[in-house]
Amino acid sequence: MGLLTVVGLTTAAPAADTATLKWKFEKDKPFYQEMSSETTQNMKVAGSDIKNVQKQTFYFSWTPVEQDKDGNWVLKQRLKASR
């Protein structure tokens, strides 16, 4: 048995002191993202407490490929590096 949830999203009128944020993409001009993650695991192995900490950083490029008639962009994502 499945459960279907329908959510209606509404927005209130903007206050006088708000700003509209909007991306300004240029076709074939990439922009870059750095994403870091830290994972901590606490385990018990053969009766001993073990703490494992992993830190990872990913570097992505995003390239605007094309824009449709409604102004939506198709972006190409590439993983450039990780450490």
Assign 1 a pLDDT band (cuts: 50, 70, 90): very low
pLDDT, tens digit, 9 for 90 and up, residues 10-68: 556 666 789 998 889 999 999 999 999 999 999 999 999 999 999 999 999 999 999 99
Q: Is the pLDDT of residue 5 over 50?
A: no
Residue 28 and residue 43: Cα distance in Å, rounded? 47
Residue 32 and residue 35: Cα distance in Å, rounded? 10
